[in-house]
Amino acid sequence: MTLSTKHLLGIETLSAEEISSILDTAQSMKKEGAPPGKESSPLAGKTIINLFYESSTRTRTSFELAGKRLGADVLNFDFSTSSMSKGETLKDTVINLQAMNPDILVIRHSAPGAAAFVAEAVDASVINAGDGAHEHPTQALLDLLTMRECRGSIQGLLVAILGDIAHSRVARSNIWGLTKLGATVRVAGPPTMIPPYIENMGVEMFYSVEEAIADVDVIMCLRIQRERQQKYLLPSLEEYAKFFGLNHERLAHAKKDVMIMHPGPINRGVEISSAVADGKNSFILEQVTNGVAVRMACFYLLAGGRQGHVAH
Amino acid sequence: MLLIKRGRIIDPANRVDGVFDVLIKNGIIARIALTIEPEEQGLRVIDAEGKIVAPGFIDMHTHLRDPGQESKETIASGCKAAAAGGFTALACMPNTGPVNDSPLITGSIISKALREGCVRVYPIGAITRGLQGEALTDIGALKEAGVVAVSDDGEPVMNAEVMRRALEYVTYFDLPVISHCEDKNLSQNGDMHEGFISTRLGLRGIPAAAEEVMVARDLLLAKMTGSRIHIAHVSTAGSVDLIRTAKAKGVLVTAEATPHHFSLTDEAVASFDTSTKVNPPLRSQKHLDALWEGLADGTIDVIATDHAPHGAKDKDVDYPSAAYGIAGLETAVSLTLSKLVHTSILTIEEAIAKLSLNPARILGINGGSLNEGGDADVTILDLEKEVTIDPENFRSKSRNTPFAGMRLTGGPVMTIVKGDVVWESESP
């Protein structure tokens, strides 16, 4: 099947079938490499622009590599330093980029809804690489792929997401994706970091990490932003580590074979101890590997490729 | 000279509801009687059969942007928008550039409005110099210059001592203080109502308590000082409860609600449409229910627009970057009729009182009633008129409305100021 939408703005608007289709495509690409096409470069002649208004190494390079592996021309614009944009508005920037006729525009921006706003303004397909605390769909897709690879299916999994749920686009996209595919999701963290009515998104809410991680198949730690301290959400990072951080002692409350995941970059000793991050249950590096495959699949499908043509 | 024939006159001040003819001469209502024959030459006869003839509507909460931001609105364009919305008068907030915190600015607004405005304009002066929340303005001199109230609208007076002294001081000048209730520490320049929708969208929430703690504070201060306080743009259930309780205890409080707050919930934000960004924000259904109840039982005295025009530069941006505000003058009456009157939340008499008599009383200005010998400020309504909101037809210089394309029933058909028809709908 192909995607029903021209853009990938979030997981909330995707159907379970579409999510599975992207995961299947990504799985094939990971195994077989780029799908057969013109000289194995199905996106040859296509242009992808990465437009990043927030600094990012991992996500930007992952998109870049994915595009290049499919044979596309990839341009990177880093607007995370304000001098680059020279006071130009987001709309003016993207309509100028549109004038270069890109096929796909990847955007990361601090404003929730920024990707949807850009999608309205341009002809290109838009991939949301993170819009504020709203969504980060490719991160959720690579997380889902990592879980599915290890456990065979998302259906029936019990997943705990720990940390600053209120400000996390990773949490939101994962909640939509996991619940659509039949997993049960728990969220846990200090009360200041749990947003109101989060249960209405179909999750169970905890404050206690010990209670939240009991019996779960997957623990996903979120990065604690250091500046949250200034916003009165946290007394200190030490306090967070002591009461909410994932360490070996606390992990004893979880199943022996629990998967440990983190979208990165990690704060060692804050939300996750080094021993846990580097331990045998950690899938953090596997997530990074899967990120490239998932982004290849998204590019491929948005550029009009069909899932099914990929698998041999 | 005008003769309005066979309209249903609803004049809450005089408890009148019946079909009469109204003769207007020299800007004055000359006669109201069962039948008046057109005897004189040059008389325009207006057939108002099936229509409602009401005292001219008064919007006590308008941002005219003039001086300072004339690309968004001017006194002339704002007055045209008011007239097209059925308003014969408006009170304009002082957050202009420069701020209306001196008699000089007040005087210039009044004289410009007399020259260029087609409706009556009543300036509201600032409570504090430059809206800084610190030093009081020369409130007495502002009153002499013509302000009808004081307010730091757009900015709350965060310092409770400043608010206490402002409330005390105005009692000598018999001016109401209009309070924009918002605790800036709690609201954090948020994007929208804090609730499930803000959680879903990842936008920064403004909790209901950010308004309510300030409403509670101001009611306590009004009680302590015995002053008149008017709470602007009430948006939460808790505020309605607090005001209702205070009124029962004799606090001299009045309150207003805006059409956007009683017509839309925070669900409207879900598409990231920046025309829905407003402060206070669109709230959830629970709060709308409370506003309807407060409007019905009289806790909320006034319907006011908080007309806040903005151009594309401020609205055609990502949601957090967008300016707060909705251009409301040209949709307010249709929304009131559709969302409150046709739904039986308010009777038509109550709606008219909240749009004319009550704001006139609070501001201590003429108007708000239809009396022989009184000023001929009249709004004529058609309750059954089908209206589709089209911002392209706005007289305002701005188009920022979340109601574009909405179909409503009822609206103004004619606006008469000082006996002159300043606006009439194209399809009679």
Cβ distance B318 to A117 less than 8 Å, yes or no, reads yes
Residue B145 predicted with pLDDT over 50: yes
Q: Is A108 a catalytic residue?
A: yes
Cβ neighbours of residue A267 closer than 8 Å, sequence gap 6 or more: A223, A224, A226, A237
Interface test with chain A among B200, B203, B277, by most A beta carbons within 10 Å: B200
Q: What is the pLDDT of residues B42-88, one digit of tens each?
A: 899 999 999 999 999 999 999 999 999 999 999 999 999 999 999 99
Q: What is the pLDDT of residues A1-14, one digit of tens each?
A: 567 789 999 999 99
Q: What is the pLDDT of residues B102-119, one digit of tens each?
A: 999 999 999 999 999 999
At B295, is the pLDDT very low, low, confident or very high (cuts 50, 70, 90)? very high
Q: What is the pLDDT of residues B28-38, one digit of tens each?
A: 999 999 999 98
Mean pLDDT of chain A: 92
Query: What per-residue confidence (pLDDT) applies to B373?
Result: 97
Task: ipTM value, please give it.
Answer: 0.93
Query: What per-residue confidence (pLDDT) applies to B42?
Result: 86
Helix (H, G, I), strand (E, B) or coil at B88: strand
At A82, is the pLDDT very low, low, confident or very high (cuts 50, 70, 90)? low
Query: What per-residue confidence (pLDDT) applies to B375?
Result: 97
By the 8 A CB rule, do B74 and B96 touch?
Answer: no
Residue B419 predicted with pLDDT over 50: yes
| Whether residue A262 is found in the same domain as residue A181 | yes
Residue B147 predicted with pLDDT over 80: yes
**Torsion angle, CA of B246/B249/B252/B254, rounded to 10 degrees?**
40
Interface test with chain A among B189, B191, B318, by most A beta carbons within 10 Å: B318
Spatial separation of the C-alpha atoms in residues B53 and B381, rounded to whole Å: 7
Residue A41 predicted with pLDDT over 90: no
Say how far residue B198 (Cα) sits from the centre of its chain.
Answer: 27
Residue A11 domain flag = no
Looking at CA atoms only, how far is residue A45 from chain B in angstroms?
31
Query: What per-residue confidence (pLDDT) applies to B308?
Result: 98
What average pLDDT score do residues B201-222 get?
Answer: 98
| Whether residue A100 is found in the same domain as residue A156 | no
User: Residue A22 is part of a domain; what is its CATH number?
Assistant: 3.40.50.1370
Catalytic residue selected from A60, A69, A108, A262: A108
Strands B229-231 and B253-257, by their bridges, are: parallel
Query: What per-residue confidence (pLDDT) applies to A84?
Result: 61
Give B-chain residues touching A198 at CB under 8 angstroms: 199
Cβ neighbours of residue A239 closer than 8 Å, sequence gap 6 or more: none
Structure tokens at A169: 């686009």
Query: What per-residue confidence (pLDDT) applies to A88?
Result: 85
Structure tokens at B221: 């201060």
Interface test with chain B among A90, A197, A201, A222, by most B beta carbons within 10 Å: A197
| Structural Rg of chain A based on CA atoms | 19
Mean pLDDT of chain B: 97
What average pLDDT score do residues B165-186 get?
Answer: 97
Residue A279 predicted with pLDDT over 60: yes
Query: What per-residue confidence (pLDDT) applies to B38?
Result: 87
What average pLDDT score do residues A89-110 get?
Answer: 95
By the 8 A CB rule, do B261 and B218 touch?
Answer: no
Q: What is the pLDDT of residues A164-195, one digit of tens each?
A: 999 999 999 999 999 999 999 999 999 999 99
What average pLDDT score do residues B122-143 get?
Answer: 98
Query: What per-residue confidence (pLDDT) applies to A55?
Result: 85
Query: What per-residue confidence (pLDDT) applies to A310?
Result: 47
At A312, is the pLDDT very low, low, confident or very high (cuts 50, 70, 90)? very low
Residue A5 domain flag = no
Query: What per-residue confidence (pLDDT) applies to B425?
Result: 95
Q: Is B306 a catalytic residue?
A: yes
User: For domain B56-363, which CATH number applies: 2.60.40.10, 3.40.50.300, 3.20.20.140, 3.40.50.720?
Assistant: 3.20.20.140
Say how far residue B423 (Cα) sits from the centre of its chain.
Answer: 19
Give B-chain residues touching A134 at CB under 8 angstroms: 201-203
What average pLDDT score do residues B389-399 get?
Answer: 98
What average pLDDT score do residues A258-271 get?
Answer: 96
Residue A2 domain flag = no
A131 touching B, CB under 8 A? yes
Closest CA to A8 of A137, A175, A173: A137
Lowest mean pLDDT among A82-86, B149-153, B295-299: A82-86
| Whether residue A154 is found in the same domain as residue A80 | no
What average pLDDT score do residues A285-311 get?
Answer: 86
Closest CA to B256 of B71, B25, B93: B93
| Whether residue A173 is found in the same domain as residue A115 | no
Residue A47 domain flag = yes
Q: Is A58 a catalytic residue?
A: yes
Cβ distance A113 to B316 less than 8 Å, yes or no, reads no
Residue B299 predicted with pLDDT over 60: yes
| Whether residue A242 is found in the same domain as residue A297 | no
Query: What per-residue confidence (pLDDT) applies to A36?
Result: 63
What average pLDDT score do residues A120-130 get?
Answer: 97
Query: What per-residue confidence (pLDDT) applies to A308?
Result: 57
Residue A235 domain flag = yes
| Whether residue A145 is found in the same domain as residue A104 | no
Spatial separation of the C-alpha atoms in residues B327 and B35, rounded to whole Å: 40
Q: What is the pTM of this model?
A: 0.95
The size of the A-B interface in CB pairs under 8 A is 65
Spatial separation of the C-alpha atoms in residues A8 and A106, rounded to whole Å: 9
Structure tokens at A80: 């995370």
Nearest CB to A133 within list B202, B316, B318:
B202
| Whether residue A200 is found in the same domain as residue A110 | no
Query: What per-residue confidence (pLDDT) applies to A311?
Result: 37
| Whether residue A146 is found in the same domain as residue A73 | no
By the 8 A CB rule, do B310 and B325 touch?
Answer: yes
- The whole domain housing A198 covers 137-288
Give A-chain residues touching B317 at CB under 8 angstroms: 89-91, 117
Which tops the pLDDT comparison, B427 or B44?
A: B44
Cβ distance B321 to A198 less than 8 Å, yes or no, reads no
Query: What per-residue confidence (pLDDT) applies to A85?
Result: 66
| Whether residue A141 is found in the same domain as residue A251 | yes
Closest CA to B409 of B427, B385, B428: B385
| Whether residue A177 is found in the same domain as residue A269 | yes
Spatial separation of the C-alpha atoms in residues B86 and B152, rounded to whole Å: 26
Domain count across chain A: 2
Query: What per-residue confidence (pLDDT) applies to B80?
Result: 98
Cβ distance A112 to B201 less than 8 Å, yes or no, reads yes
| Whether residue A211 is found in the same domain as residue A77 | no
Looking at CA atoms only, how far is residue A72 from chain B in angstroms?
29
Nearest CB to A112 within list B194, B195, B202:
B202
| Whether residue A95 is found in the same domain as residue A68 | yes
